[in-house]
Amino acid sequence: MRLLPFAAPLALGACAQGEPRPAPPPEPAAEVIGEARDCLPLNSFSSTEIRDDYTIDFLSAGRRNVWRVTLPNRCSGLRAADTFTYETSLTRLCRNDIIYPLQRIGNGFQRAGGCGLAPFVPVKLEK
């Protein structure tokens, strides 16, 4: 029983959270070329590129326009899934809409936990 007073501080210390680590900068780097938009019409982009668990690039046909979304929180499994789905009743995707990484399970997909979007920032990707 004499170990109990020492065990409690050790157990509490193991539960303490450190400072959140900032996300590493996504590759490729990008230069902001305009004002952020809260929504992006669905017909504005034809594909997406998931850079990491924080960053998605929305690309127009021919890659003439690129909008980068940096998620406010890590979307666990997004990069590993390399694809996502969303639901919208509008003809646009907006900040705070929810995306769901799709994990391949056997011959199908399973929707993972949802992640909130952020503003769409027009960028020029560095080569």
One digit per residue, pLDDT tens: the chain, 127 residues?
A: 454 454 444 444 444 444 555 666 777 889 999 999 999 999 999 999 999 999 999 999 988 999 999 999 999 999 999 899 998 888 999 999 999 999 988 899 899 999 999 999 999 998 7
For residue 11, report the phi and psi dihedrals to the nearest 5 degrees: -65, -40
For residue 51, report the phi and psi dihedrals to the nearest 5 degrees: -90, -40
**Cα distances (angstroms) measured from residue 63 to each of 47, 51, 59, 78:** 9, 16, 5, 22
DSSP 3-state assignment of 114?
Answer: coil
User: How far apart are the C-alpha atoms of 62 and 78, rounded to whole Å?
Assistant: 24
Instruction: Count the Cβ atoms, other than its own, within 10 Å of residue 28.
Output: 12
